[in-house]
Amino acid sequence: MDKQQKKIISFFRLRRLILPILLGLGVATYLLIRNFDSAAFKDIDWVWQSYFYLFLAILMMVVRDLGYMYRLRVLTDGQISWRKSFDVIMLWEFSSAITPSIIGGSAIALYIVNKEGVSMGRTTAIVLITAFLDELFYIIMVPLIILMVGTQNLFTTEGEYVFLNTKFGTQGIFILGYIFILTLTLIIIYGVFLNPRGFKMILLTIFRLPILRKWRLKANETGNEIIITSRELKGKPFSFWVRAFGGTFFSWTGRFLVVNFLIMAFASGGDQLLIFARQLIMWVILLISPTPGGSGVAEFVFTGFLGEFIPTGLSAAIGLMWRLISYYPYLFIGVIILPTWLKRVYAKKDNLLKSEKD
């Protein structure tokens, strides 16, 4: 077993799995006990529409993953098969699920994609562009949603969040988050598509400052990655970007519709567009969550943002169901896939070395 293999196994150690499970289930249990209403559970009318919408909620997770798999195949020009794309996406989601949301699973994603036989240069480009496409979806959807639903009912008044020693409501956090995402995306556009070498020089100049000098080597590596990404994407046709963004659109739309269908399974009526829009605001809060995969935070903000659309006493239960469908499966699927994936990619490497010796 080489150093890389040991490192990836140590990243997925048991402690990383237990923490998000305990956090998520702990908060969910607390909310269930605090808001428990036996009458609300007795009043649930289990008709065929309930099961149908539950099925659609699960189906949306399939759409989400298929969208990610399709995008990966587009970005690799079909180098990774559908079967291997499934492994990559499941392990990518697995790493994101056990990593604080504010950090993400990009570092592990680099390792996973590269081990599928994709060159490191292209792997770097793929991971950076997936982040870019995700941010682009958000940047485009937010103005469209605001135009359709307005801002009057979009922001919940519940909850305050401390950032830079200042208290912000949900609207303030959303504005800060949106500005950050927009700024990050503009930086990527300038660095990757307009002037990669100029971006690297700017980066190195900034990190000459005494307070930042110790990270200058890392800044140099980032600049090189931007240049590699630009080179990999140079000359890609417009259809390439349409297909890649199409996969992104279906993935994120499927992710949000899970909640819509869950609520429809237990509550009649409700402004479904507003429910969808509220999730865009929720996503900013979860994006800056310090807990693995947003565990604990997600269960809490679900009730605050979407509780008004759910019968009294059921919001915590539906919130838990949402996480059981959209989060916890990746923990268990990842545990199942990881050993066989490691065996496959390292067996392929050993066979290649053996053939070279022969």
Q: What is the pLDDT of residue 356?
A: 46
What is the rounded distance in angstroms from the CA atom of residue 30 to the CA atom of residue 27?
5
pLDDT for 226 beyond 90:
no
The tokens for 102 are: 């504010």
For residues 318 and 46, the answer to whether their CB atoms sit within 8 Å is no
Q: What is the pLDDT of residue 38?
A: 56
What does the mean pLDDT of the chain come to?
79
Confidence of residue 168 (pLDDT cuts 50, 70, 90): low
- 42: exposed, middle or buried (Cβ count in 10 Å: 0-12, 13-18, 19+): exposed
Amino acid occupying residue 75: L
What is the rounded distance in angstroms from the CA atom of residue 113 to the CA atom of residue 132?
17
The whole-model pTM stands at 0.83
Mean per-residue pLDDT, 235-245: 92
What is the rounded distance in angstroms from the CA atom of residue 256 to the CA atom of residue 329?
17
Q: What is the pLDDT of residues 96-112, one digit of tens each?
A: 877 765 555 677 788 88
The tokens for 111 are: 């390792």
Q: What is the pLDDT of residue 61?
A: 94
Q: Where are the domains of the chain?
A: 3-357
Q: What is the pLDDT of residues 21-30, one digit of tens each?
A: 666 666 656 6
Which position has the higher pLDDT, 213 or 251?
251
For residues 292 and 100, the answer to whether their CB atoms sit within 8 Å is yes
Alpha-carbon torsion angle 76, 79, 82, 85, nearest 10: -60
Q: Is the dihedral of CA 138, 142, 148, 150 positive or negative?
A: positive
